[in-house]
Amino acid sequence: MDVPELLESASLLVPEDTATDNDITVRDIWDYLVHDEWEIALGLLEELGDARPLPLTYWEKLAEAAERLRMERSAAWCRWRCSEIRNGVIRADLTLLAAAEARRTTPIHSGVLRPMWDLGHLSPTGGRSVSIAALWMENTPLLEPGGRATVRLVPLTPAHWTHVQANRQITMHETRAVAGIAVILEVRPPATTMPTL
């Protein structure tokens, strides 16, 4: 499939009554597709994907279209959304410790870091057990030490995260030392029952 076919195919997976916060619908996107405004159509389709859960196939088509358009950040975001569907997602308010308080002195980038998280589990020997989750910052590509952002976590092992609930505090680790503190905002399990069409 070429880019227009991928975008058209993805748009057909969006229910007609779906709209973005700015009241953009699939019908509006078709106007952009007719006029070969593929980058705009892709961005709006990404926004529509935030309006309601859509199948894995939707995000796969958008990721492929973004890759063909060489829109690296969009491609990474769409692949990230595929991971959320497969593994679940936890949204949290993360505050990194300041550089003077932690080992990290450089910013972290969305989709690159897979830190360890202390969820309160104990190892068989009674010590602390951590779980790994990839990290994506909402509305910012990077987070400086001492900074704060809403983040999305995709667990490597979703079963480790089943007891985590909203308002719970967890700690982020890159070494044994605490690197950040997060308060859980929302927990969504893997979408195992969502059709892939």
What is the pTM (predicted TM-score) of this model?
A: 0.84
Distance CA(84)–CA(60), nearest Å, equals 12
First vs last Cα of the chain: how many Å apart? 16
Q: What pLDDT, on a 0 to 100 scale, did the predictor assign at position 33?
A: 92
Backbone angles phi, psi at 161, to 5 degrees: -105, 5
Residue 46: which of 80, 17, 70 has the closest Cα?
80
Q: What pLDDT, on a 0 to 100 scale, did the predictor assign at position 192?
A: 62
Chunked mean pLDDT (size 10), the chain, 197 residues: 92 89 88 93 92 92 97 94 92 95 89 91 85 93 94 93 94 93 94 52
* Residue keyed to tokens 């190892």: 123
* Residue keyed to tokens 């529509």: 48
Q: What pLDDT, on a 0 to 100 scale, did the predictor assign at position 197?
A: 42
Q: What pLDDT, on a 0 to 100 scale, did the predictor assign at position 69?
A: 96
149 DSSP β-pair partners: 94
Distance CA(114)–CA(59), nearest Å, equals 22
Instruction: Give residue 193's identity as a one-letter amino acid code.
Output: T
Element (H, E) at 11: helix 3-11
* Exposed e or buried b per residue across 13-47, where buried means at least 16 C-beta atoms within 10 angstroms of its C-beta: bbeeeebbeeebbbebbeebbeeeebeebbbbbbe
